Amino acid sequence: MAQHLPILPIILPLFAAVLIPLFGRIRVQYAWFFSVGATGFSFLCSSWLLSQVMTGRRVRYFLGNWEPPWGIEYVVDYLSGFVLVIISFMAFVVTVYSWKSVEKEIPKEKVGLFYAVFMLLVTGLLGIVITGDIFNLYVFLEISALSGYVLIAMGGKREALMASYNYLILGTIGATFILLGIGYLYMVTGSLNMADLATLLPPLYENKVVLTGFAFLVVGLCIKVALFPFHIWLPNAYTYAPSVVGTFMAATATKVSAYALVRIMFTVFSPGFDFKMVPVTEILFYLGMAAMLVGPVLAISQTDIRRMLAYSSVGQIGYIVLGISLGNQTGMVGGLVHLLNHALMKGGLFLVVGAIIYKTGITQISELKGMGKRMPLSMAAFTVSALSMIGVPLTVGFVSKWYLGVGALQAGKWIALPIILLSSLLTAVYFWRIIENVYFKGAQGQESGRQREEGPPGMVVPTLGVASLCLVFGVFAFIPVSIAELAAQMLLGKT
C-alpha cells in the first residue's frame, strides 16, 4: 500500500466529495464526519509522504502505470511535500472548526452540498501541489477555482455574488492564459511532463514561442496569486465569503498558486533562464515590494475586520513573491517559510474572526470594544497571530522576515530592507487599532460585556492550536527552515 501513498491525499477528499451528496441526504451530520475523516487521513498521508521524502528520495507515482512523458505522474519532493502538509493541515483544522459556523451561515438543506464542494476545493488544491504534469495542473486549478467561486457566492449577502462573479472573470482570464502558455510549451517541445519539459526546454530558450508561453504562464499565475496589480478580486471575495471559506481560501488558495508559480519558474524553466535571460524576477521583485506597501496602506483605511485582513493578505503575498524573486537561497527559504507562516497566521486570524462572527455577529473593528474580556482565549490567539504578522521575535513572522532581509542583502538589493521594515510598521499600525479596541477600550455602560462568551470548544480548540503553532515554529524555527532549505537547494540547483 505504501507505494500508492501519493494518490491517497487527493482521492480521499475526492471520494468524500462524491459520497457526501449520497449519504448527506440521510443525515446531514455525515457530511461533516466524512469531511473530517477525509481531510484528517489526507493530512496523515501527506505527513507520511513528507517523512519519506525527508529520507532523501523523491517519491514518484505513475497514474495508470504509464511512464512519464506519455502518462501523468505525481512527484513528491521537498517542496511539494512541504506545501502538501501545509494545505492538508489547514484543510483538516478548518473542517474540524467548521461545523457550527456552517450550520449558522448556510441554509440547512444545502449544508451537505456545501461540504461536498468544500472537499472538491481541497481536492483541487492538493492536486495542484502534487502533480508533475503541467496539463494536470491546469485541470486541478480549474477544479479548485470553480469550487472556490461557488463557495464564495454562498456568503449570505448579495455583495458575495458580485465578488464571486468578478473573481470568476479574472480567474478565467488567468486560467485561460495558463492554458495558452501550456499550449505554447507543448507546441515546441511535444511534452507535458514537467521533468521532461525541463530537459527539453534549455536549447529552446531563445525561441519566441517559449518566451511568449512563459510570459502567459507567469501572468496567468500572477492573477491567481493576486499579486499587486491583479489583486482586485481578492478583498471582496474574502470579505463576503462564508467565514469558513474565507478562512480556508485566505490560508491556502493564493499559497497554492504561488507554489505553482515557483514550479513553473524553477522546475519547468531553470533559474538561469529566470534570472539571466528574461527580466521576470526583476519585475516580480518590484511588484512584490509594491504589494508589500499597497496592501498594508489599504488595510489601515478599512473598517471591516475581514476586509482589513484581506488587504493584509495582498501585502503578505508580496513577501512571498519577493522571496521567490531574490534568486539566492536565503531569499527563497524566506519566501517558502513565509508560505507556511502566512497560512498559519492568516488562518489563525480568520478563525478568530469567524468565531467572533458566529458568537456576536460583529464585523466592524470599532464594535470590538471589550472583546478581550468577552472572548479571552480567542483574542489571545488573535494577538499571537497579529504579533506574528508584525514580525515580533519568537513568532513565525520574524523568522521569514529575517531570512527575506538577509536574502535581500546577499542579493545586493538594499532597497528591499527599508521596504520590509516600513511594511512591518504599517502592519503594526493596523493591528494596533484592533488590539487597542479589544483590550484597552472597555464597552461603555454594558454590564453584559463582562461575562464570558467564548465560542464553542469545536471552534476554540483549532484556533488555539493554530495560534500555538505560530509560537512553536517561531521558537523551533529550524523545523520549517531545514525543509525549506532543502527545497530551495533543489529549486536553485545547488545539490
For the segment 116-145, give every residue that binds other proteins (CB under 8 A): 116-117, 120, 123, 127, 135-136, 138-140, 142-143
Least Å distance between CB 416 and other proteins? 28
Q: How buried is residue 160: exposed, middle or buried, by Cβ count under 10 Å (0-12/13-18/19+)? A: buried
Binding residue for other proteins, selected from 30, 186, 286, 439, defined by CB under 8 A? 186
Q: Can you read off the three cell numbers belonging to residue 120?
A: 472538491
Q: Give the nearer residue to other proteins in terms of CB position, either 14 or 287.
A: 14
Least Å distance between CB 22 and other proteins? 5
* C-beta separation of 81 from 57 below 8 A: no
Q: Can you read off the three cell numbers belonging to residue 224?
A: 491567481
Q: Which stretch binds other proteins (CB under 8 A): 86-94, 167-175, 319-327, 380-388?
A: 167-175
Rounded to 10 deg, the angle between the 280-300 and 208-225 helix axes is: 20
* C-beta separation of 147 from 125 below 8 A: no
Q: Give the nearer residue to other proteins in terms of CB position, either 127 or 331.
A: 127
Q: In the chain, what is the straight-line distance between the N-terminal and C-terminal CA atoms, in Å?
A: 31
Measure the CA–CA gap between 288 and 214, rounded to whole angstroms: 19
Q: Give the nearer residue to other proteins in terms of CB position, either 131 or 378.
A: 131
| Binding flags for other proteins, 24-43, as an x/- string (CB under 8 A) | -x------------------
> Where does 24-67 have alpha helices with state H?
29-54
- Per DSSP, the residues of 69-80 read TTS-EEEE-HHH
For the segment 229-258, give every residue that binds other proteins (CB under 8 A): none
For the segment 198-217, give every residue that binds other proteins (CB under 8 A): 200, 207-209, 211-213, 215-216
In this structure, are strands 59-62 and 73-76 parallel, antiparallel, or unpaired?
A: antiparallel
Angle CA(313)–CA(219)–CA(489) in degrees, nearest 5?
Answer: 75
Binding residue for other proteins, selected from 93, 126, 153, 322, defined by CB under 8 A? 153
Report how many residues bind other proteins under the rule CB under 8 A: 77
Binding residue for other proteins, selected from 29, 57, 169, 440, defined by CB under 8 A? 169
Q: Give the nearer residue to other proteins in terms of CB position, either 4 or 450.
A: 4
Q: Give the nearer residue to other proteins in terms of CB position, either 11 or 293.
A: 11
Measured from the Cβ of residue 335, the count of other Cβ atoms closer than 10 Å reads 26
Q: Give the nearer residue to other proteins in terms of CB position, either 212 or 468.
A: 212
Q: Can you read off the three cell numbers belonging to residue 170?
A: 479574472
Binding residue for other proteins, selected from 79, 122, 168, 336, defined by CB under 8 A? 168
Q: Give the nearer residue to other proteins in terms of CB position, either 208 or 450.
A: 208
Measure the CA–CA gap between 355 and 348, rounded to whole angstroms: 11
Angle CA(426)–CA(429)–CA(430) in degrees, nearest 5?
Answer: 95
For the segment 47-66, give every residue that binds other proteins (CB under 8 A): 61-66
183 lies in the binding site for other proteins (CB under 8 A): yes
Least Å distance between CB 382 and other proteins? 29
Q: Give the nearer residue to other proteins in terms of CB position, either 211 or 472.
A: 211
How far, in whole angstroms, is CA 160 from its chain's centroid? Answer: 20
Q: Which stretch binds other proteins (CB under 8 A): 50-58, 179-187, 251-259, 370-378?
A: 179-187
Q: Give the nearer residue to other proteins in terms of CB position, either 363 or 468.
A: 363
Measure the CA–CA gap between 321 and 264, rounded to whole angstroms: 14
Spell out the residues 6+ positions from residue 116 whose beta carbon is closer than 8 angstroms to its own: 16, 17, 18, 20, 21, 24, 31
- Return the bridge partners of 144, or none: none
Least Å distance between CB 479 and other proteins? 31
For the segment 262-301, give every residue that binds other proteins (CB under 8 A): none
Q: Give the nearer residue to other proteins in terms of CB position, either 15 or 439.
A: 15
The closest of 487, 178, 193, 205 to 329, measured between CA atoms, is 487
Least Å distance between CB 61 and other proteins? 7
* C-beta separation of 312 from 295 below 8 A: yes
Least Å distance between CB 84 and other proteins? 17
| Binding flags for other proteins, 76-115, as an x/- string (CB under 8 A) | -------------------------------xxxx--xx-
